[in-house]
Structure formats: structure tokens, C-alpha cells
Amino acid sequence: MAAGLTVWAPQAWVDGRWHFGVVLTVDSRGCWSSVTPGYSEAPAQAKRLAGPVLPGLVDAHGHAFQRAFAGLTEQRFQMRDDFWAWRDRMYQVAQRLNPALLKAVAAQCFVELLAGGYTHRCEFHYLRGGSGFENNEDDWRMEDALIEAAEETGIGLTICPVLYERSGFNSVGLQPQQQSFRLDAAGVWRAAERIDSLAHERVSAGLAIHSLRAASADSIVQLLRLAAEVDWPIHMHVAEQTQEVEDCLAATGMRPVQWLARMNLLDSRWHLVHATHTDPEEIDSVAQARASVVICPSTEANLGDGLTDVPRWLKAGVPISIGSDSEIGRDWREELRWLELGQRLVRRERGVCAEPTTWTSPAECLFEGGLGAGSAAAGLKGSGLCVGARADLLVADPLDPALLGLPPQRMLDALVFSSPVKPWRDVMVAGQWVIRDGHHPFASRAAERFVSAMKVIWEEPIT
């Protein structure tokens, strides 16, 4: 760690607003030991940063292996192309992967996420088998591939092994193309305990349930019983598609979030991914349980999922983090932009995610909320540029055309809404520079390995 490293930022996002002349110091744990605004000039011992500084965001939901087919599922081969058709193609890619290929794909994905301003990633990990070996619940090679990719690139990583045991509400098992995802509650617990026991500085464990359609009530309860004494985050896909809601109603008489609430399963550890098709009663139940949601706007648009009621979530006080999910977008600025713009399109209003009495800027509202919610989704202690939080930061390029001539107080608005913007000039994770002057030292090697992996994965066409 860069213990004692001191930097000076001309302006930095601290405590929910811009401050000027900010001095930040890193401790021996890679956390901020001091954050002090008001220095008009950099102290002698401080490294002068080149532009506006923001804390890094957590990518609260993603599947690294899906980077292998970002942009490659955009052709229509049947009368109706929807989420379910996309899923069939995703299964084919998943079956072609092995640990070496996953590592190559994940490393490229992680380099790109860092360049896009994500300093930590929550990996919703259900890829356990694949090409050349059978799914074994105690085979950790896929997890190790992800960990090695994170270590090579410098990104923080929370791995959430996924409970995945059936193909639908009325099924007793998995379809052949899903067998490589199989993991029961005891297996999830063993996987998470192992990740936690490795004690990697930037790698931690979480827990995940794929969805209500993929896990029985008994198995969900069993996993929660095993996890009763830990505060690890719990992630779950929920209500992403209208068909899922309809199937849940048919099987249980309740909507997915309604079922979770009435079973008294939700608490502050839960992070509901997508939650696209939820009604006001369900939103209020999530708020009452102090749970959170993870919205992935670029993926939800790409898959035709629909739009959740963001203003209702905000009004209810439910924390919102963002995720890259299928990896077609790997920059948090794009996710925040579409989180707001999607609402503008359906409501025919502007500034939907802002409230004049609290936040006048949608970008600032969503960014500040995403800081805390994302850190909770990753199981991190503290968030943002504050004492005790991990020393992660982003430096914007002051020569970015999107920022030229702007009043300093409007920098975050421009970074989100005045696209395109440059990649981040510098990126720090846990007090270590992983990108300097736009360069990641592992980027070229990661790209070479990714290209080689893609040749293997796509040797046979997928339709």
C-alpha cells in the first residue's frame, strides 16, 4: 500500500458536493486517513492531481464472462427477439468457457471497467462448469480465474456465488444448457466461506440467489439460515421480465418482491437486481425492510426489459446502486445518463431524478446515492472521499471537450450528460494507482489474451 501518500486535488467531490483545494492522505490499510478541503495551493509533500476528482463507484452487478459476446447478439434471427432468445445465445457462450478463457475475458472486462470509473466490482458468479470439465460444487477454478484477473488489473472484487438449482417455478432441475450453473445452498455457503478465508486485500465474499424461478423457497431459507451470523451482502435477480412476474403469480399467488416481503426474508443485506416490474406496494415493502435495488440501465435497455419507477424508489428512500450486468456498457457515466434519460422518455419531463428541495441535479443525486448503495452492495466499509473509506479516486481530464469552459460546480452534470467524454485520466484503488495518464500497465497484455480467447470462443458461430 502507498501508506502516507498525500495528494492535492483542485476540486473534489466530498460529502455530497464539490470542495476546492482538497488534500487527501492514504494510510497503511489503503484507506483515507485524512480529507481536508481549503488548501488554495498544494502542500510541499502532496502530489498535485491534474483535474477534478471523484470517488470511484462500485459496479454492483455484472457477469464478467458476458463481455465475450457484448455486441455480438444484435442480429435478429426470428420473428420475436427478446430476453429469452438472448438468454439461449448466452448459454451457448457459457458452455464454451474454461478457467483460462474466463480469466482472459474477465481481465479485459476489468481493465475496461476501471477506465470507465468503476473501482470495485460485484461479480454475480454462476459459471461453475464449462468446456472441458464437469460442474463440481467444490471445484474453485472459475472463482480463482476471477480473483487472478482482479489481482492482475487492480480492481476490487466481491464474488457472490449463486444459488441456482432449477429452470423454473414448476421444475425440479435444470435444463441441459444450465447444468454448468448448478449450485445448492450448502455449495454457495462453502464457496463464499472459501473466498472469505483467502483474505485477499481487495477480494471479498457475498451471497447470491439467481432468482425465485431458479431457487426453491426451502433452499433460500436454508442459505439464509447458514448466513444468519454474517453481514455479507445478498444479491438476487428479481422481476426483470414480465414473464417472470406472471410465472411467480401463477406459482405462488404473489409477485416476486411481494413474495420476498411477505416471507419476511428481506433486510438491509439484500440488493434486488433490476426490480423492473414492481408496483408501489412492493417498493414500499423494500423501503420498510431497508433493502436496496441495483439498476442496470444499459443492459435493461439492450434486453428490452423495461423501465422501473426510479422516482418512486427515490421517494421511498430505497438506496439505488448501478451495475454493468451484461457488459455492453462499462462506464458508470453511461448508466447514470440512461437511468435519468429513460425516465424522461416515458414521462416527457426533465430532471426526473432530481427534487428541487433536496437535489437540483439528477447526476448529483444518482451519483451520491450510488456511492453509498454500491459500497453496501460490495460489503465495503464506508464510501466516497472520507476518512476510513478505501482510498479509491478518479481524476477527470481537464482538457476533455465535455468539460471545457464549464463552471466548476457543474462538472458532474457534464460528465454524465455531455457525451462522449474521455476515459478517466487517472484511477486509484486502495491507495494504488492502477491507471496513470490514461494508461493501464496491463491493458496491452489483457487485450492480446482477450483477442486470443475470443478466437477460441467464437471458432464456431452462435445463432
- Structure confidence by residue, pLDDT tens digits, 47-63: 999 999 999 999 999 99
C-alpha cell at 51: 483535474
Higher pLDDT, 361 or 78: 361
Per-residue pLDDT band for 461 (boundaries 50, 70, 90) equals confident
Mean pLDDT (whole number) for 253-272: 98
Specify whether the CB–CB gap between 446 and 153 falls below 8 A. Answer: yes
Catalytic, 81? Answer no
d(CA 251, CA 163) in angstroms, rounded, equals: 19
The angle, 0 to 180 degrees and rounded to 10, between the axes of the packed helices 141-153 and 185-197 is 40
d(CA 156, CA 381) in angstroms, rounded, equals: 13
| 59, 305, 309, 325: the active-site residue | 325
| 14 DSSP β-pair partners | 17
Q: Is residue 147 over pLDDT 60?
A: yes
Taking only the tens place, the pLDDT of each residue in 436-457 is 999 999 999 999 999 999 999 9
Per-residue pLDDT band for 2 (boundaries 50, 70, 90) equals low
Specify whether the CB–CB gap between 214 and 261 falls below 8 A. Answer: no
Q: Is residue 252 over pLDDT 70?
A: yes
Higher pLDDT, 257 or 420: 257
Q: How many CB atoms lie within 10 A of CB 317?
A: 12
pLDDT at 79: 64
C-alpha cell at 66: 458476458
Per-residue pLDDT band for 430 (boundaries 50, 70, 90) equals very high
Mean pLDDT (whole number) for 335-348: 97
d(CA 316, CA 312) in angstroms, rounded, equals: 6
C-alpha cell at 107: 481481465
Q: How many CB atoms lie within 10 A of CB 167?
A: 17
Q: Which of 114-118, 160-164, 175-179, 313-317 has the lowest mean pLDDT?
A: 175-179
pLDDT at 130: 76
* Residue of 48, 56, 54, 55 lying closest to 10 (CA atoms): 48
pLDDT at 165: 97
Cα distance between the two ends of the chain:
47
**Mean pLDDT score across all residues of the chain:** 95
Q: How many CB atoms lie within 10 A of CB 133?
A: 14
| 63, 274, 277, 440: the active-site residue | 274
Catalytic, 267? Answer no
* Residue of 231, 232, 234, 325 lying closest to 276 (CA atoms): 325
Q: Which domains does the chain possess? A: 6-55+391-444 (2.30.40.10), 57-231+297-302+323-377 (3.20.20.140)
Q: Is residue 193 over pLDDT 80?
A: yes
pLDDT at 222: 98
Q: Cβ neighbours of residue 7 under 8 Å, at least 6 residues apart? A: 23, 24, 25, 46, 47, 48, 49, 393
Per-residue pLDDT band for 258 (boundaries 50, 70, 90) equals very high
d(CA 1, CA 3) in angstroms, rounded, equals: 6
- The beta strands (E) that lie in 202-282 are given as 203-205, 207-209, 234-238, 270-274
Mean pLDDT (whole number) for 266-289: 98
The angle, 0 to 180 degrees and rounded to 10, between the axes of the packed helices 217-226 and 185-197 is 30
Q: Cβ neighbours of residue 344 under 8 Å, at least 6 residues apart? A: 350, 352
Q: Is residue 414 over pLDDT 80?
A: yes
